[in-house]
């Protein structure tokens, strides 16, 4: 049996905290896509930790954490993460497993990401510059190198061959940065990676499932950044939606039970691209300040706005969301009035559907207003203590989406979560 936790917006919904919270109820926690573009924040012993590639169950004892074949892996970042995690006393030799089919991010992939962004001028995607796009391009272009290749005798010659190809591309971009330090780090880090548990991920996970173990698949990014269904071309390069679980881990669709969709009580986006409910005003500033909305991976300020139910209804549909988890409700505590986007106006027409091309049209969101709860909500533990205004806000979302909010997160801490009936 596999349950999935994934983001329903443009990433940073609080997936890391939520996976950490639920991990105790599972045996295996598995990442199925993305790479170090992700930044998943958890608090362990009151210390903040940001995980990029290691699943967010890693701080729980006796849990298996699997990096699946759908992930693109940077050995340099992995090594750093492993060192941080090990400093908490976690024995990664015991609880971290890596699929041999996961593709490797090479130093030249990072360079290509940077060169590609520089060449785009105003049209920049706003990528995290971690080499994600170029690595997935090499995967679908059938050129990439995989973790399992590290264990073969001709890895270096395969690397050199791909390196040469990449240099030709970099020349075409007139990109001349010296990446020899990156290469040195990379070759050091692959020696470290080779000592970790490299497994056949698809047999590994299916054997776990056959033995009755419970798997929690952890999404990265958000559904509006999905390569197929997001705000293309301002998206990431993987399938972030629930379908990605099957291809990114090798589990059959019948094994998926619950899809838990995480959304903030408002909305953020980092990087470029359409964001209909963005508030480029004092209210947006206040959301950013109160919510501490700065990227966990890049430190960039996140763009902020009201919750967008048109987008959420779309992402609930394509993911088959069975339960919603609403995070950062406490960030709205001080707001007098809240807005909820219910439709888009495009060329004078009102719609509750996501259009084909969001980048080239003016989308004006239509809102329904709600009174704020004006209560410090972060200490609430039980549903019965929810402020009436928060209950009304949640009831409306439930009704609009046809899927219920089952948990409200009211602070970054492990225990700050309220379960709803």
Task: Point out the residues that are catalytic.
Answer: 12, 40
Nearer to Mg ion, 252 or 301 (CB): 301
Omega before 80 within 30 of 0, i.e. cis: no
Question: Of the candidates 314, 330, 358, 401, which one interacts with ligand GDP according to CB under 6 A?
Answer: 330
Q: Is 221 an interacting residue with respect to ligand IMO (CB under 6 A)?
A: yes
DSSP codes of every residue in 271-283: SSS--TTB--SHH
From the list 34-42, 58-66, 93-101, 130-138, the region that binds ligand GDP by CB under 6 A is 34-42
**Least distance CB 324 / Mg ion (angstroms):** 18
Question: Of the candidates 126, 320, 355, 371, which one interacts with ligand IMO according to CB under 6 A?
Answer: 126
**Least distance CB 295 / Mg ion (angstroms):** 7
From the list 9-17, 62-70, 157-165, 169-177, the region that binds ligand IMO by CB under 6 A is 9-17
Question: Of the candidates 23, 98, 125, 246, which one interacts with ligand IMO according to CB under 6 A?
Answer: 125
Instruction: For the beta carbon of residue 44, count every other beta carbon within 10 angstroms.
Output: 14
Instruction: For the beta carbon of residue 48, count every other beta carbon within 10 angstroms.
Output: 10
The dihedrals phi and psi of 351, each to the nearest 5 degrees, come to -145, 150
Site for Mg ion in 25-44 (CB under 5 A): 39
Residue pair 44/59 in contact by the 8 Å Cβ criterion: yes
Q: Is 411 an interacting residue with respect to ligand GDP (CB under 6 A)?
A: yes
**Least distance CB 21 / ligand GDP (angstroms):** 10
- For ligand IMO, the nearest residue by Cβ is 271
Q: CA–CA distance from 281 to each of 18, 288, 304 (Å)? A: 30, 11, 10
Nearer to ligand IMO, 220 or 321 (CB): 220
Q: Where are the beta strands (DSSP E) in 144-247?
A: 197-199, 215-218
Residue pair 16/412 in contact by the 8 Å Cβ criterion: no
Size of the site for ligand GDP (CB under 6 A): 20
Question: Of the candidates 3, 12, 13, 308, which one interacts with Mg ion according to CB under 5 A?
Answer: 12
Q: Is 225 an interacting residue with respect to ligand IMO (CB under 6 A)?
A: yes
Rounded-to-10 torsion of CA 382, 385, 390, 395 = 70
Nearer to Mg ion, 12 or 330 (CB): 12
The dihedrals phi and psi of 28, each to the nearest 5 degrees, come to -130, 135
Nearer to ligand GDP, 365 or 412 (CB): 412
Site for ligand IMO in 281-340 (CB under 6 A): 296
| Plot region of 12 (φ>0 → left; ψ -120 to 50 → alpha; else → beta) | left
Q: Is 331 an interacting residue with respect to ligand GDP (CB under 6 A)?
A: yes
Question: Of the candidates 271, 284, 365, 412, which one interacts with ligand IMO according to CB under 6 A?
Answer: 271
Q: Is 128 an interacting residue with respect to ligand IMO (CB under 6 A)?
A: yes
Sequence-distant (6+) residues with CB within 8 A of 222 are 6, 7, 8, 9, 10, 11, 12, 13, 240, 315
Distance (Å, whole) CA 19 – CA 60? 11
**Least distance CB 152 / ligand IMO (angstroms):** 28
Taking each helix axis as running N to C, give the angle between helix 309-319 and helix 388-401, from 0 to 180 degrees, rounded to the nearest 10.
50
Cα 191 → chain centroid: 28
Distance (Å, whole) CA 368 – CA 396? 10
Residues near ligand GDP, by CB under 6 A: 7, 11-17, 39-41, 296, 327-328, 330-331, 409-412
Binding residues for Mg ion, rule: CB under 5 A, are 12, 39, 296
């Amino acid at each position: 049996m596999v349950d999935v936790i994934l983001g329903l917006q443009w990433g940073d919904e609080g997936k890391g905290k939520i996976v950490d919270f639920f991990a105790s109820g599972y045996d295996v926690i598995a990442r199925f896509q993305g790479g170090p573009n992700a930044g998943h924040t958890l608090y362990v012993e009151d210390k903040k930790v940001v995980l990029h590639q290691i699943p967010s169950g890693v701080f729980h004892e006796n849990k298996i954490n699997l990096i699946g074949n759908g992930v693109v892996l940077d050995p340099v970042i992995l090594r750093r993460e492993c060192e941080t995690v090990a400093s908490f006393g976690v024995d990664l030799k015991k609880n971290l497993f890596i699929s041999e089919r996961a593709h490797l991010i090479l130093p030249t992939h990072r360079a290509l990401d940077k060169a590609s962004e520089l060449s785009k001028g105003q049209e920049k995607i706003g990528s995290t510059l971690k080499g994600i796009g170029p690595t997935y391009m090499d995967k679908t272009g059938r050129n990439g190198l995989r973790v399992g290749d590290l264990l073969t005798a001709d890895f270096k010659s395969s690397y050199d061959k791909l390196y040469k190809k990449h240099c030709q591309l970099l020349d075409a971009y007139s990109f001349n940065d010296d990446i020899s330090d990156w290469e040195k780090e990379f070759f050091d880090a692959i020696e470290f990676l080779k000592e970790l548990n490299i497994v056949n991920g698809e047999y590994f996970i299916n054997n776990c499932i056959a033995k009755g173990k419970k798997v929690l698949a952890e999404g990265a990014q958000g559904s509006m950044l999905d390569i197929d269904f997001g705000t293309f071309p301002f998206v990431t390069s993987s399938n972030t939606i629930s379908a990605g679980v099957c291809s990114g881990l090798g589990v059959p669709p019948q094994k998926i039970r619950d899809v838990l969709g995480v959304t903030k009580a408002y909305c953020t986006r980092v990087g470029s691209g359409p964001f209909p409910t963005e508030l480029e005003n004092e209210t947006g500033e206040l959301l950013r300040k109160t919510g501490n909305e700065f990227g966990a991976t890049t430190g960039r300020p996140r763009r902020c706005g009201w919750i967008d139910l048109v987008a959420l209804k779309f992402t609930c549909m394509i993911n088959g969301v069975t339960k919603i988890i609403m995070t950062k409700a406490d960030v709205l505590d001080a707001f007098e009035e809240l807005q909820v986007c219910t439709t888009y106006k495009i060329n004078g027409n009102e719609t509750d559907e996501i259009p084909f091309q969001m980048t080239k049209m003016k989308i004006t969101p239509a809102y329904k207003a709600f009174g704020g709860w004006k209560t410090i909500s972060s200490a609430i533990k039980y549903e019965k203590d929810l402020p009436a205004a928060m209950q009304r806000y949640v009831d409306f979302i439930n009704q609009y989406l046809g899927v219920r909010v089952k948990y409200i997160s009211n602070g970054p801490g492990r225990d700050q979560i309220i379960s709803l009936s």
